[in-house]
Structure 1
């Protein structure tokens, strides 16, 4: 049970068109006579990517297949927080909070300091009794973080009075406040985290193939011994044999269970959460905010030159690939955030809207806001491990549990001993050398002929892999140009997304490799043509293919706008799913 030596030749973990072709060849070879992987992971979200990294770094030959793009589902549509979950303290779920705080510290200080960054929040206090109650909860929150196995990486909370709050957050209504408590959590670009985990797995030898769908399972008696898969780019079907298949398909778990014969060991409920993106100048504050709503917790989160505001928590029974935010969802979030702001936000202030689905383990009668965020791992049939539930912050724990379950199954087919998880000691790509490169930001800016603020932006997205971008700019200086209508991003980032980050379609770049689709008022319409032409030069697209990719994207944007004007989920879903596109 050894990772493939061929895959170890590319030490960069680049997900290029050539590496995808190599991965598909390796997976198909595992379906040939005598070929077999130890672990095949189905699903390219954060848990699937984490599982592939955990498995391959234990010395197991590993493959990962994803039917669309990395992080194209839930894992690119979260609140983008790495946090312990304050509200779980009220539910007395201390174990989940401690586990999440431990993982938060690990990501902040060791695994991904370039991607996971501190973010301060204000918890407004309206009544005198709230200060001791909320203060005690935050004291416990901080104590759990600072007494864990790893450095917490964040300051402790601090009590503030109304005058202090007014200085820190001039646009927060303070007339009915007794003060606030400032505390810290962390945030991450969730799609970039998933991409970086997957690239790290590839760097250690995992075969990663996106746009590859499972269409059936291979069986020998009761045991699952692999899958039948289809390359959605070429239409070619092939078999992949594996000693254990790990299903990490999130909200698609029930669909995978149907393929294996409808043996539903897990019952997953999709819960929709929507977020609004508004420009940073619409709310003057040095901190984010957190407050309660009727059914969820409302976060107002600093996000570069923007704010992210959300979320909702409602059951979703429609298209899983393209969950839609309705007018009612948007009005709900705006109405609640406006209760704490001096100047209310209007619909015209909203740059972007995105909706995601949480894969929750279904309860008998609970509303989705009450269903546990804890995860479950089951083995419904020999050779198949399924994992569902959980949260972004604890992806590494979930992955380790899934591979532990796979190791138990592997023990029935081989005499080799599977080693324990070591992902708590495996920095993600871009982490090693990040601190040094951050200190050298001025020199990097001089070399690349960029403003230092541009280097800061690149460091926050690529960490020490910023060297790749600088080298590209030295070779092709014209790529230092900002993208039309999205000047936070450089043309070089589009090229790099194709050559190193597995981007194959226009949506991949505008929605996940960058956040242009939600960070601009036109939602990336102006950038679509130039980005498609940059991609075409790397992928060999002709003019017709460029036009098709742009047309798909423009229809996506129009469908989203139409869905967000509809009153109900059903109407929003009908409007959203009309354009069929790759992502």
Structure 2
């Protein structure tokens, strides 16, 4: 498709997407599936920014009900099961425990809190059980839930989920949401788009774009070689995330007043804090919430914060204040105190929220906003905000908006169509692991589980009939083989060791520095880039 379209030796696309995060890759996949020729440019690796720094949940956003964001929550809830069916290898149901006491008070300024304070002054600062239960009833029913279990009450004094919590927490509600491997979601969308004909250009920066009649002339730079080149496109989709405003100024040069609000969210990863596989939804005295979530078998993920961030080009790392805030928040609930010494890693990302003038970062809307600029001729669609849970719907609506200008071009199609490796039932992971172990006797259960959770039905294709571990080539530690690395380079656009161990997987939590050096050397030999500058573990 796109590879065959040229004009005066310049590649021509129906659509050029700027940004290789979840929204950009989702838009590219949707567009190419409708028959458009598509190019995508990303100045770094896929999911190198916000899309690999999420809390890793497909969820409706229970707390958004307090801000009366009913439309957002309904759309997100309805998407959970659509997405689960499309990617049962990288996403799965998870139960969340919300502990509470009747005496808990909060300092918050949500619309719900203000309403209660006005009509029931004695309830100021409280989220009573009936209010929480009402919110969870809405959560269970808004999205047309089909197979995720509903909310139930929990007696923490007898249920094992109460064991890690302080004795003052005797009651809880338990409800459903879903886990997702966020950066793998991005890579699989990009891979599927490429296999359908899109041209995916990572480490490629948009220098500028100008309208030339009914087309865009885009100037691009390969950041590996510093080579500059141009391409033409009938339409642009600006999905640059935190850089969306910068790209508006660099392309349309319009007086568009719509702006982005940058909010930094930080997470810490600690040693495993409890033994069961359920997550905790914790309410803070400041009215905020955090999650404690089982992570990578041996760890617990704690997050997130909401902090103002001024410059998308500014380094994004967790501050001491954010770290201490998350630790103190968790310690309000946990019997066994968690300290900075328990932290093994941390990560931060910048959420590019639509600036709706909210008084705080926490209150800013998580709704996505699509702003079209076509007054000068060729259109550009600018994407503001959004949640990882609604990325597919955002992409669907983005292509609808772009193509309706010249007449509808193909029908939406992505609902129910699996991502690569996801063509098996939601409850079929166990069977897939068993069959993989039966076919490849050298795999341990842990190894087979990791491969199925990463690649689904493609795990068998990647192993390609190997009869022994030796057939997979050099081993880099933690079951990472040369065969797997070559797969990631060939099919998932990995170019550096960091791409492999922090975005295509989280093996960076376990690999030694020597393991990473050997991986780096192997990838350079195979045509990749040298990059051993690993994110520093907080415990190191």
What TM-score range do you get, normalising by the shorter chain? 0.7 to 0.9
Higher helix residue share: 1
Equivalent residue for 2:97, pick from 104, 109, 122? 122
Contact 1:248–1:387 under 8 Å retained in 2: yes
C-alpha distance in 2 between matches for 1:401 and 1:394: 11
SS of corresponding position for 1:427 = coil
Shift of 1:126: 0.8
Matched, 1:360 2:358: no
Does structure 1 conserve the Cα–Cα contact (< 8 Å) formed by 2:16 and 2:39? Answer: yes
Is the Cα–Cα contact under 8 Å of residues 497 and 509 in structure 1 kept in the other structure?
yes
Q: Shift of residue 87 of structure 1? A: 0.6
Separation (CA, whole Å) in 2 of partners of 1:537 and 1:446: 33
Give the equivalent residue in structure 2 for 1:211.
203
Given the alignment, which residue of 17, 35, 39 partners 1:41?
17
- Determine the structure 2 residue equivalent to 1:7: none
Could you say which residue in structure 2 is the equivalent of 1:276?
268
SS class of match (2:341): helix
What residue is the counterpart of 2:461 in the other structure? 468
Correspondence for 2:344? 351
**Structure 1 position 498 matched with structure 2 position 489:** yes
Q: Is the 8 A contact 1:224 1:245 kept in 2?
A: no
Change in Cα spacing, 1:189 to 1:437, as seen in structure 2 (3 Å) is closer
Q: State which of 392, 405, 425 in structure 2 corresponds to 1:409.
A: 405
**Contact kept in structure 2, 1:121 and 1:184, CA below 8 Å:** yes
Paired residue for 1:445, among 425, 437, 442? 437
**What's the offset of the Cα at 1:34?**
8.2
Taking a change above 3 Å as real, the CA distance of residues 321 and 111 of structure 1, as seen in their structure-2 partners, is farther
Aligned partner of 2:391 in structure 1 is: 395
- CA distance, structure 2, for counterparts of residue 171 and residue 257 of structure 1: 49
Query: d(CA) in 2 for partners of 1:446 and 1:83?
Result: 35
- Give distance in 2, aligned partners of 1:144 and 1:425: 20
Instruction: Measure the CA separation in 1 of the matches of 2:482 and 2:162.
Output: 35
The equivalent residue for 1:538 is 526
How far the C-alpha of 1:132 sits from its partner, in A, is: 2.2
CA deviation after TM superposition for structure 1 residue 488, in Å = 6.1
Counterpart secondary structure, 2:157: helix
Unpaired segments of 5 or more residues in structure 2? Answer: 104-126
- Tell me the C-alpha RMSD between the 2 structures: 2.5
Q: CA deviation at 1:339?
A: 0.7
Aligned to 1:219, the other structure's residue is in SS state strand
Is the deviation greater in 490-499 or in 422-431?
490-499
Deviations 1:292-344 (A, max 9, x none): 23263200011232211001001112454741111111011001001100011
Partner of 2:233: 242
- Correspondence list, 1:224-235, <5 A: 225-235=216-226
Do the aligned partners of residues 482 and 79 (structure 1) sit closer, same or farther apart at CA in structure 2, a change above 3 Å counting? farther
**Mapped partners of 1:122, 1:488: distance in 2:** 33
Q: Which residue of structure 1 lines up, in the alignment, with residue 142 of structure 2?
A: 144
**Structure 1 regions of 5+ residues with no counterpart?**
5-25, 412-416, 566-583
Distance 1:191 1:248, change over 3 A: same
* Residue 38 (structure 1) shift: 1.0
Quote how far apart the aligned CAs of 1:453 are.
Answer: 2.7
Kindly indicate whether the alpha-carbon contact (under 8 Å) linking 1:374 and 1:389 is maintained by their aligned counterparts in 2.
yes
Pick closer, same or farther for the CA change 1:297–1:371 going to 2, 3 Å.
same
| Shift in alpha-carbon separation, 1:34–1:320, aligned structure 2, 3 A | closer
Q: Does 1:65 align with 2:41?
A: yes
Deviates more, 1:433-442 or 1:31-40: 433-442
Q: Is the 8 A contact 2:10 2:230 kept in 1?
A: no
- Counterpart of 1:14 in structure 2 is none
Distance 1:364 1:157 in 2: 34
**Alignment partner for residue 196 of structure 1, among 180, 188, 194?**
188
3-state SS of 1:134 partner: helix
| Distance change in 2, residues 1:389/1:440 (3 Å) | closer
Q: Structure 1 residues 277, 35: CA separation in 2 closer, same or farther (over 3 Å shift)?
A: closer
TM-score norm. by structure 1 comes to 0.82
Residue in structure 2 matching 1:342, options 328, 335, 341: 335
Number of residue pairs matched? Answer: 509
TM-aligned CA deviation for residue 262 of structure 1: 5.1
CA distance in 2, matches of 1:508, 1:440: 26
2:83 corresponds in structure 1 to: 107
Q: Secondary structure at the match of 2:415?
A: helix
Deviates more, 1:326-335 or 1:471-480: 471-480
Match of 1:571 in 2: none
- For 1:95 and 1:385, how far apart are their aligned partners in 2? 22
SS at match of 1:163: coil
Does structure 1 residue 162 correspond to structure 2 residue 137?
Answer: no
Cα distance in 1, alignment partners of residues 359 and 512 from structure 2: 39
Provide the C-alpha distance between the structure 1 equivalents of 2:275 and 2:391, rounded to a whole number of angstroms: 33
**CA shift for structure 1 position 390:** 1.0
TM-score by length of 2: 0.88
